[in-house]
Chain A
Amino acid sequence: MSSRQLSGILLGVVGILVLAIGGLSAILLLQGGEAQISTSTETQGLSSSAEIDTANRELRLPGSEPVTLDPHLVTDASSGEYIVEIYSGLVTMNAELEIVPDLAESIEISSDGLVYVFSLREDAKFHDGRVVTAEDVVWSIQRAASPELRSTVTLEYLKDIVGVKEYYYGLNTELAGVVALDERTVQITIDSPKPYFLAKLTYPSAFVVDRSQIESNRNWVRAPNATGPYKLAEWNLGEWSILETSEHHYLGLPSVHRAVYTLAGGSALTRFENDELDVAYISINDIDRARDPSSSLYKYYQFTPSMSVSYIAFNVTQAPFDDVHIRRAMAMAIDRGTIAEVTFNGMILPATGILPPGVFGYTETDKTLPYDPEAARDEFAKSKYANSNMPPIVYTETGGGASAGLDTQAFIEQWRQVLGLEIEVRQADWASFLDLIDSNSAQMWGIGWSMDYPDPENILDIKLHGESRENNTLFSSSTINELLEKARTNLSVSERIAQYQEAESLLIQAAPWIPLWFGSNHVVVSEAIEEWFEPPMTLPRLQHIKLKD
């Protein structure tokens, strides 16, 4: 066969294929053409806005696709990050974590601590310019608590309001605890005096939504008309979302006029290095690189604590963790200080107690059971499992079945060396993991808790009160329960703090949990940002960020 003929054949084949596939592509391209169009309008939008200078006042952030932008349904931090910018409620938390009025301008609390009267600001407005009325607030809370909405979180945050539980479970069609006294005044009545109630109201469950929009447009959540400092300007599923300042917000123009969250695109750190993002969060694997003074990332690196704690939990009804000595022995057998220094290069913070920094009642002194192999062995010897009957122990953590977390590996090794315990690690994907914990079938597991408001009630009462349905350790101590109940309604700040601190130290001694690490954020921030604000929990943050002029 001659080469001319062969190339003829090949050309023919190639031609046919290119024509066939090209034709098909052309059809698909025409159908999917809008994707291209929206890209080009976006570029135009960048330069066309007249009064708000979005082009130079833009912040490019890594983002996650929000699960929902409905403030009454949100449960995850990544959705929450958008929601706290777009919506707002009667009260909010400022950068110092103080509770301050937001839509309300003044708050009066009755002397018995049961009745809260909020007067709304006159300049509290929705993004479309409409003034927020007391009726908006009442309707929003009713919606959040309505049985039809099926919110998993409303009850936790609003159950203190008189009538919310009955309303949520459909036992009552009236919500007595929230009323509009007049156009500008809302009155909320709670079931007992709770000093943390206002803190709970900063959570999105109590945010204000626009009734007329929700009732007229079933897709309202894609362009919510709300009361926060930023409005959702664009949201392209899976690609980007853009927040722009609301010209009707009472704060006036913040430094960041426009925040572009890229929802896709792989590693944020790599995109930061490629100047596609102004900010990127650094995972533990990349920290060494960012902290190395010779690295190009070094000068951009910032470190801030976050208000969360990770811990090992025991199911105290399952052997061998029904024995307090075993739990204490395991806590004393692990050397978290050295693991933090050696394994993690000092980049994670050993927990000094259950309450993370920033929470009322936190102290710097280390209250945890100290690393002490001798004492751990003594403690172990006191247990009923010391000589015989030690059942097999399985430690459950989330993961994809690869090697265990670095800290887990270190703990397993130390338990083996100090106590002679052989502990098996079982990894489960997140959904299966939750299933194991919820069904109380795990013996011990590693997990964390992020504070939703900086009050000890948010962690001690919810997770460790003996009667809380969310206490998966099933640990219950009448002394601790009593302390937590007293603290719940104690209006004296100093007494309350003392009660929580006592409960915390009793809990550490009884060891249903071993507190491990306090959370921290490692972030690189580009030179375009003069002042970065990294809140320790989900808070409205864009208004606090300053861009360079």
Chain B
Amino acid sequence: MLQYAIRRISVLPLLLLVITFSTFYLTRWGPGDPISVIAGQVRDPEVLAQIREAEGLNDPIYIQYVRWLGDASRGDFGESYIRRGFTTWEVISPRLWVTGQLGLAALVVIFPIGIFAGGLGARFRGSWADPTITLSLLFAAAIPGILVVAVLQWLFAVQLSLLPVGGWGGWIDIYWIAGIVAVPIPDPHIYIPLTAYTLGGFVGVARLVRATVLEVNRTDYVRTARAKGLSESTVQRRHVLRNSLLPLVTVVAFSLAGIIEGSIIAETLLGIPGIGSFLFQAIGSRDYNAIQALTVIYSATFIVMNLVADLAYSLVDPRIQVGETS
């Protein structure tokens, strides 16, 4: 298994190479470039041409790529064209932390509620409660995130003045009671984006849990376990629980990756300083260096999450021996 993990991780650079080269090529091939955008309304073509030349943007793309690769492999992603005076990494890292916090918070909310709802659905299969749960979660997932954000902003921020309209204030605020007891309370900025991120996620988890619980209960080994005379609680704990968790574990990693990918619209709408809203700006202004760095982050997240899912599979189910051909 360790060998397998190492082998999978060693493919990562190769994958990143292919992805970053494609992005590199596509961004430069399309119309517009960062010099043109930063020039603003005063755009003497001779001056712009001279700066493009000095920045090396006129060199063949493969030479530019090799140069970028050389710098990137030393951890130097260059200066962001739309935040001059800062390295790309300096601009991205605080934003990455913001997006990551929101993503993790969304998981913390999605999974317990989703699992609970799915479990209830399986438990009350055949009664009115089962389709009601699924349908209402499906309904929640069908509302576009853009709409959810707008409605929540209008209701909770403007009409009720309970929450800020947008922005970001961290994850948790610590309130001190009498200066001794620390009480962690979610920051008010987190509710609206969190709701928007999680509404669509419940139904997937719930349906998966419901289906697996029902399926596992019908399997031969559960029947065998019952036939062996094991108590129902042991059957549920040892066999049903363990096997119902299996597909879920693979979903955790993917959900996080999905949430991070889906953050672009919500962050832009809510003015949350994460990497999603920044990617939106970077593409709009052809900030080559920032686009490249974000591509590396997004792709690496996806690839690593994929690997985590595979490894988690084998940890939960001993029958699956990843990477070991028998």
Measured CB to CB, the residues of A under 8 A from B are 1-3, 5-6, 8-10, 12-14, 16-18, 21-22, 24-25, 28-29, 31-32, 35-36, 39, 65, 67-70, 73, 75-76, 147, 150, 152-153, 155-156, 169, 219, 221-222, 237-239, 262-267, 270-271, 273-274, 276, 428-432, 434-436, 438, 449-450, 452, 462, 469-470
A428-B289 Cα distance, complex, nearest whole Å: 22
What's the nearest-Cβ distance from chain B to residue A52, in Å? 26
Are A1 and B232 closer than 8 Å at their CB atoms? yes
| A-facing residues in B109-163 (Cβ within 8 Å) | 111-112, 115-116, 119, 122-123, 153, 157-158, 161
Is there a chain A Cβ closer than 8 Å to B33's Cβ? Answer: yes
Is there a chain A Cβ closer than 8 Å to B237's Cβ? Answer: yes
A429-B284 Cα distance, complex, nearest whole Å: 7
Which residue of chain B lies nearest to A147 when distances are taken between CB atoms in the complex? B54
What's the nearest-Cβ distance from chain A to residue B139, in Å? 23
Knowing A169-B50, A271-B164, the reply to whether A28 touches B94 (Cβ < 8 A) is no
A315-B214 Cα distance, complex, nearest whole Å: 69
Are A73 and B84 closer than 8 Å at their CB atoms? yes
Knowing A152-B42, A271-B166, A274-B161, the reply to whether A35 touches B94 (Cβ < 8 A) is yes
What's the nearest-Cβ distance from chain B to residue A149, in Å? 10
- Specify which chain B residues have a CB less than 8 angstroms from the CB of A29 in the assembled complex: 171-172
Which residue of chain A lies nearest to B278 when distances are taken between CB atoms in the complex? A238
Closest 6 A-B residue pairs measured CB to CB?
A266-B166, A431-B32, A238-B273, A265-B167, A75-B40, A68-B84
Are A434 and B82 closer than 8 Å at their CB atoms? no
- Specify which chain B residues have a CB less than 8 angstroms from the CB of A431 in the assembled complex: 31-33, 36-37, 284-286
- Specify which chain A residues have a CB less than 8 angstroms from the CB of B240 in the assembled complex: 9
Are B236 and A21 closer than 8 Å at their CB atoms? no
Are B51 and A270 closer than 8 Å at their CB atoms? no
26 contacts between A and B (CB under 8 A): A6-B122, A9-B241, A10-B115, A13-B119, A21-B107, A29-B172, A32-B97, A36-B172, A36-B173, A67-B83, A75-B39, A76-B38, A150-B54, A156-B44, A221-B85, A265-B166, A271-B166, A276-B164, A430-B32, A431-B37, A431-B286, A434-B32, A434-B43, A438-B43, A469-B46, A470-B45
Is there a chain A Cβ closer than 8 Å to B170's Cβ? Answer: yes
Are B94 and A67 closer than 8 Å at their CB atoms? no
What's the nearest-Cβ distance from chain A to residue B242, in Å? 10
| A-facing residues in B238-285 (Cβ within 8 Å) | 240-241, 244-245, 248, 252, 269-273, 278, 284-285
Given A237-B91, A434-B36, 7 extra CB contacts under 8 A: A6-B123, A10-B119, A13-B241, A150-B55, A152-B39, A221-B85, A276-B164
- Specify which chain A residues have a CB less than 8 angstroms from the CB of B94 in the assembled complex: 35, 237-238
A70-B86 Cα distance, complex, nearest whole Å: 12
Is there a chain A Cβ closer than 8 Å to B108's Cβ? Answer: yes
Knowing A9-B237, A431-B31, the reply to whether A36 touches B170 (Cβ < 8 A) is yes
Measured CB to CB, the residues of B under 8 A from A are 30-33, 35-48, 50-51, 54-55, 82-86, 90-91, 94-95, 97-98, 100-101, 104-105, 107-108, 111-112, 115-116, 119, 122-123, 153, 157-158, 161, 164-174, 213, 217, 232-233, 236-237, 240-241, 244-245, 248, 252, 269-273, 278, 284-286
- Specify which chain A residues have a CB less than 8 angstroms from the CB of B115 in the assembled complex: 10, 13-14, 17
Knowing A13-B245, A21-B107, A264-B273, the reply to whether A432 touches B32 (Cβ < 8 A) is yes
Are B38 and A67 closer than 8 Å at their CB atoms? yes
- Specify which chain A residues have a CB less than 8 angstroms from the CB of B84 in the assembled complex: 67-68, 70, 73, 221
A149-B272 Cα distance, complex, nearest whole Å: 32
Q: Give the one of B85, B86, B157 with max A CB within 10 A.
A: B85
Number of contacts between A and B (CB, 8 Å)? 221
Are B41 and A435 closer than 8 Å at their CB atoms? no
Which residue of chain B lies nearest to A218 when distances are taken between CB atoms in the complex? B85
Are B108 and A22 closer than 8 Å at their CB atoms? yes
Knowing A39-B170, A434-B36, the reply to whether A12 touches B237 (Cβ < 8 A) is yes
Knowing A6-B119, A18-B112, A274-B164, the reply to whether A239 touches B273 (Cβ < 8 A) is yes
- Specify which chain B residues have a CB less than 8 angstroms from the CB of A271 in the assembled complex: 164-166
Are A266 and B153 closer than 8 Å at their CB atoms? yes
- Specify which chain A residues have a CB less than 8 angstroms from the CB of B248 in the assembled complex: 13
What's the nearest-Cβ distance from chain A to residue B86, in Å? 7
A430 partner, pick from B245, B278, B285, beta carbons under 8 A: B285
A239-B91 Cα distance, complex, nearest whole Å: 12
- Specify which chain A residues have a CB less than 8 angstroms from the CB of B167 in the assembled complex: 239, 262, 264-266
B271 partner, pick from A35, A70, A222, A265, beta carbons under 8 A: A265
- Specify which chain A residues have a CB less than 8 angstroms from the CB of B101 in the assembled complex: 28, 32
Which residue of chain B lies nearest to A37 when distances are taken between CB atoms in the complex? B170
- Specify which chain B residues have a CB less than 8 angstroms from the CB of A9 in the assembled complex: 119, 213, 236-237, 240-241, 244
A25 partner, pick from B43, B104, B237, B245, beta carbons under 8 A: B104
Are B85 and A450 closer than 8 Å at their CB atoms? no
Which residue of chain A lies nearest to B80 when distances are taken between CB atoms in the complex? A67
- Specify which chain B residues have a CB less than 8 angstroms from the CB of A18 in the assembled complex: 108, 112
- Specify which chain A residues have a CB less than 8 angstroms from the CB of B172 in the assembled complex: 29, 36
Are B38 and A152 closer than 8 Å at their CB atoms? yes
Are B165 and A265 closer than 8 Å at their CB atoms? yes
Which residue of chain A lies nearest to B90 when distances are taken between CB atoms in the complex? A237
Which residue of chain A lies nearest to B82 when distances are taken between CB atoms in the complex? A67
Are A153 and B270 closer than 8 Å at their CB atoms? no
Are B32 and A21 closer than 8 Å at their CB atoms? no
- Specify which chain A residues have a CB less than 8 angstroms from the CB of B41 in the assembled complex: 75, 449-450
Are A5 and B233 closer than 8 Å at their CB atoms? yes
A330-B82 Cα distance, complex, nearest whole Å: 38
- Specify which chain A residues have a CB less than 8 angstroms from the CB of B168 in the assembled complex: 239, 264-265
Which residue of chain B lies nearest to A150 when distances are taken between CB atoms in the complex? B51
Are B31 and A432 closer than 8 Å at their CB atoms? yes
Q: Give the one of A13, A24, A449 with max B CB within 10 A.
A: A13
Q: Give the one of B107, B173, B174, B271 with max A CB within 10 A.
A: B271
What's the nearest-Cβ distance from chain A to residue B312, in Å? 10
A28 partner, pick from B35, B100, B122, beta carbons under 8 A: B100
A442-B152 Cα distance, complex, nearest whole Å: 42
- Specify which chain B residues have a CB less than 8 angstroms from the CB of A24 in the assembled complex: 104
What's the nearest-Cβ distance from chain B to residue A383, in Å? 30
- Specify which chain A residues have a CB less than 8 angstroms from the CB of B213 in the assembled complex: 9
B217 partner, pick from A1, A8, A156, beta carbons under 8 A: A1
